[in-house]
């Protein structure tokens, strides 16, 4: 069983990826209900935390039922990362995670996220600054390298372990790939099979079904799998994978009533956490995923993304249970 510091994880944990504008407490709530073993906050800017930016501070909200949970920070300045780690420490997460993998331009341009893959010495200095400033285990999420000509994940993994990182999650793409192409798990397996590496290694990228999860578990020997995009609007994926691992059979797909109930829970948690206006507005990004692949759903979806009152939205959702929509297989 893998452990991160004193955090004991299940035999083969399934992790929910930290995703910007997705992995907030309402989304994490439904993923936890359906089997996510370890979750992370959205990534939080170290500079934003120090400036007391309201959006950054709000992302520090964690709840007891979410544990174990990690707060993920990013930045390119040692002092800012150290100070933000101290701020995070006060909120008492189970671990602190550093994002060295985000490929988006506005992050990379600040010498943070995947931008640090071009300067491993800086990556190590930033990591040491965080480790020195928190009492919590520190983990890292990163990518294979900057581009195909600069795949340096083995050096990165060894050096991160040497300075005290407690676990490593590797997304099987380079920064240049962004989210395109196919994730290359062979490099992740090389890190896991390196006799020098003793810390847990989790793989991330392209796991979107129980079959693929089992194939990657067996083929690449990782300690667990992190799931990102496949869980958006489909939190059932965690329990589906666990059931398939245990029995070799598939759980029934969620029916319309189940989809509606989980979507409603997500919506209600969103309103509780963000207030009615913002909670309803930000929930609009999720409806298409909850009801993906359902023919003749367009008119309902238009209502869901235009109505502004919680009671009206709940009414529209409840009405879906009475209609005979054809569900994807």
pLDDT tens digits along 127-168: 999 999 999 999 999 999 887 778 999 999 999 999 999 999
Query: What CA–CA distance (Å, rounded) separates 207 from 215?
Result: 10
What is the CA angle 104-106-108, rounded to 5?
65
What pLDDT, on the 0 to 100 scale, is given for residue 15? 98
Mean of the pLDDT values across residues 57-85?
92
Query: What CA–CA distance (Å, rounded) separates 107 from 84?
Result: 16
Q: Is the pLDDT of residue 193 over 70?
A: yes
pTM metric for this prediction = 0.93
Q: Which helix (H) or strand (E) element contains residue 270?
A: helix 256-274
Provide the pairing of β-strand 138-143 with 224-227. Answer: unpaired
Query: What CA–CA distance (Å, rounded) separates 24 from 287?
Result: 16
User: Residues with catalytic annotation?
Assistant: 102
Q: Which domains does the chain have, with CATH numbers?
A: 3-247 (3.20.20.70), 256-322 (1.10.1200.80)
pLDDT tens digits along 279-306: 999 999 999 999 998 988 999 999 999 9
């Amino acid at each position: 069983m893998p452990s991160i510091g004193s955090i004991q994880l299940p035999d083969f944990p399934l992790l929910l990826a930290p995703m910007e504008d997705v992995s907030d407490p309402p989304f994490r709530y439904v993923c936890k209900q359906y089997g996510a073993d370890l979750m992370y906050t959205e990534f939080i800017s170290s500079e934003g935390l120090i400036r007391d930016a309201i959006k950054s501070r709000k992302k520090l909200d964690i709840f007891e039922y979410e544990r174990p949970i990690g707060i993920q920070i990013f930045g390119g300045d040692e002092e800012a990362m150290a100070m933000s780690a101290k701020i995070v420490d006060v909120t008492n997460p189970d671990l602190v995670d550093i994002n060295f993998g985000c490929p988006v331009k506005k992050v990379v341009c600040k010498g943070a996220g995947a931008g640090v893959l071009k300067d491993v010495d800086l990556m190590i200095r930033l990591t040491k600054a965080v480790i020195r400033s928190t009492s919590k285990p520190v983990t890292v999420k990163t990518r294979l390298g900057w581009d195909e000509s600069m795949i340096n994940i083995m050096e990165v993994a060894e050096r991160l372990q040497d300075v005290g990182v407690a676990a490593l999650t590797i997304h099987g793409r380079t920064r240049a790939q962004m989210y395109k192409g196919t994730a290359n798990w062979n490099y992740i397996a090389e890190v896991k099979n390196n006799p020098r590496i003793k810390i847990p290694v989790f793989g991330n990228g392209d796991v979107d079904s129980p079959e693929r999860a089992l194939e990657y578990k067996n083929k690449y020997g990782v300690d667990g799998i992190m799931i990102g995009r496949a869980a958006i609007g489909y939190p059932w994926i965690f329990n589906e994978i666990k059931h398939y691992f245990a029995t070799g059979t598939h759980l029934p797909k969620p029916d319309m009533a189940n989809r509606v109930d989980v979507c409603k829970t997500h919506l209600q948690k969103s309103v509780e956490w963000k207030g009615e206006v913002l909670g309803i507005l930000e929930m609009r990004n999720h409806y298409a995923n909850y009801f993906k692949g359902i023919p003749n759903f367009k008119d309902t979806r238009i209502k869901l993304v235009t109505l502004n009152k919680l009671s009206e939205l709940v009414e529209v959702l409840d009405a879906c249970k009475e209609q005979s929509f054809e569900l994807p297989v």
